[in-house]
Amino acid sequence: MKIFTKTLLLIAITFFTANSLQAQTIVVPDTLVGWTQTWVANLNGSQASYSNWSEGGVNTVSGAASTVYTKMYRKEQYTFGFRTSLRYGQSRIDGNTRKSDDLISIRLRNTYDLQEDSKIAGYGAIQFRTQFADGYNYDAKVAGGDSLISGFFSPAYLTEGAGLEYNANPNLQLEAGLALKQTFISDGDLSPNYGLPEGETFRSEGGLTTGISFQTTVAENIQYSSNIETFTSFTDPVSETDVFWSNELVGQINSLISASFQFEMRYDDDFSSEVQIKQVLSAGISVNLY
């Protein structure tokens, strides 16, 4: 079943990447000279309430805030990129408050073209990812109640990688290399959820990493981006390769209002033998702070 699930995920990735792809990874434009930076903040929300409504319904209020800060530099054959992404959201459904989004992500990336105007570059990258608040599997306990499955620094991932990058065109980048991956678990009781024995709070492993990034303008004021990343540990079977596939479609309605659709698929055998899926459709205020 595990191999079948992984095969379906890889087929889906292959199909979609053949049509279009972006990136959480940092892509420095060829036209950049010197430094540039952007800082965008978003606030999204929705509300619905019902009173004596014939079709029925559940009262809901939801809100989410996010911010992305990016700084990039290019000088001749060398580039540097830094990006911080923060997201957090909650929903109140019929009196119950539950988390709807949560992310802390930091990325640094350096590249150096092997030759002037070359499509091949060497890269070095560092990535960090965790979350702000506790996460629950709601109503999962046999006797009722919510089961804690994650928290701040439970888990947290730090990955350092180096390898070669191929810039097929301004929209499409491919990479492959070697990587070290560290897993941190601040709450030892949660360690078995992420492939560690109970009580152990740290694991370090080496492996192979690959990535495909794509970004394109679908229509005026509509941007699509997609990113695929894999990590194959030297100590685990290839069938247990971690696969992360993220997609985002963003439409800027005017200078203040935007809408977005996020779709993510993950396969992480340490957490589950099943594919993880997340999708979020939102609209709200988007402000360029810098």
pLDDT at 17: 34
Domain count, the chain: 1
Q: List the domain range (segments joined by +) for residue 250.
A: 2-288
CATH value at residue 64: 2.40.230
Model confidence pLDDT, tens digit, residues 22-51: 346 788 988 899 999 999 999 998 888 888
Backbone angles phi, psi at 9, to 5 degrees: -65, -45
In sequence order, which residues have a C-beta less than 8 Å from that of residue 178 and are 6 or more positions away?
161, 162, 163, 206, 207, 208, 209
Q: What is the structure's pLDDT at 24?
A: 61
Q: How far apart are CA 160 and CA 22, in angstroms?
A: 21
Can you give the pLDDT at residue 7?
45
Instruction: Give 142's pLDDT tier (boundaries 50, 70, 90).
Output: low
Q: Which pTM was predicted?
A: 0.87
pLDDT above 90 for 127:
yes
Strand blocks (E) in the chain: 34-48, 60-75, 78-93, 96-113, 120-130, 135-137, 147-150, 156-169, 172-184, 202-219, 222-233, 242-252, 257-267, 276-288
| Average pLDDT, integer, range 219-229 | 92
151 in Cβ contact with 135 (< 8 Å): yes
Is the predicted pLDDT of residue 19 greater than 60, yes or no? no
**Token pair of 73 as six digits:** 């530099």
Average pLDDT over residues 154-177: 95
Nearest alpha carbon to residue 94 among 70, 135, 62: 62
Compute the distance between CA of residue 163 and CA of residue 169 in angstroms, rounded to an integer: 19
